A and B are shown apart, each in its own frame.
Chain A
């Protein structure tokens, strides 16, 4: 995928903003910094414990804007629908998107709908673009993490991916796992309050926390260390990982972020975060050790050490 982006896309339309590869593009327009992003949502099944594609399509884009410190303001939503999709299903998805947008204090101001033949898409695909403004004094970038920074994770890992998997048939377990899909604007606002220097922010979606941390390590050129025992994982998710042979560090999340905050401000930031619903389990999970030789080291729950690498692809259930 990385190669595809590099060779084909950057090859065709390269520019400095695109190259920065942040969760949203930040462009300057007449003294204001605008954040702009676009994302597509192809989740299957459309409905899962804790959400649906409508909610996801709003949260995902709102969160990408939050990750550059922007206040999300406007969304555009485009639906590609499979012929024969039930009107009831569509109505539910649309309602869900509307409710989530209201909750996130954003307005959906433009949109598009296309209907394509049976089989051309899997029921419904949604693409959402979003725009917001970045307040002055906020300088967040994946290349800004610094030695000494504390790493704050806003909550438990893996809830979304396990919820999706449990909604699909053929899994050898069942339980009470809901996706963590949620807009992060409130939590990020709490983090940034009182002029707290937040250097980097990422939401660990596809590829999980491992990929997000590795990206920051690479772009900021730093080595970091995290503690497995500090990372919140719900018992249901931990068990699902044991059964399927998964590693929670690689599971997708849709309502979490990891923040790099200067050490002196970390405890206060954590306190404010924990008062926000979706970040009640927030924890300091590690720190940036130094410059050079970018990598992520994990101190395991039993006191061992190992490197955490990027994901090599989606995890698949193993017998071995």
Chain B
């Protein structure tokens, strides 16, 4: 069968699947699956027979993990969802991230309250990962506006980067057995100490597999005007590490705002990175004029990409997991908005089209070519 582009769209009212031929001219939409229930995490697992996963975060009846083995024609619940041991005292409030592991059926899952779970059987059973879930800092982390969530899992062999709001960046170098806070250079604006050991509100971390020592971070910026204790802290929102996440430096200069949620790396060039700046006070597009910003030199400078977007009166938010990029030769960006629009940025973001304009509010967008 010819390659197809598959996009999973996690929304406030279930998960949708959009499919197109490789040319990506026209997408066909299926769903919603798990209708009416928020989906914060999806995963297209292309190891072997492809499987699509989606968290189904039911505020009434609890958390579920959905799985599709027919490329998103149908979904069914796995046999169980992550669950804390009863004696732990915590209760699962949300599922924020799903990532593939090493083994054929190994999955990792980040949840709220911030903890990590691992499955060895494709999501049918889960075990809590104590190295981070019971970390000595864990009971000191505070919830951000979205809750106390472990929302990002970036794996690189034995190395694992986790992002927690608000806990900061945690690094494991032993396959997830143990973790340490690794936030040197990562600022916080909501505490007198601008550079605490932990407690930052990291929004997203991304990397390119060919440059594993380099990481990009969208942190909670927007604090340049702060005049209180600790003083102003400009440009803490967009950061880069060149030492596997041990230290970070700002690359926000040149952006209209250092606040935003997603950060995405080009699939073929680790120097190309994309952000979607938002006004810090409103979490909407600066001036009501949406734009993706791209750096082609690892964050030294930025250019504005807005061809195809409305030029005014557009006030959506793009959440941390709602922007991604496909791996094709001329890759396309995809992002979903809280106003239910799914946009595609063809030719690496040179021109944007709205694929679907009336979906439920979008939390999560993932893409794969299968």
Instruction: Note whether A and B form a binding pair.
Output: no
Partner-B contacts on A (CB < 8 A):
none
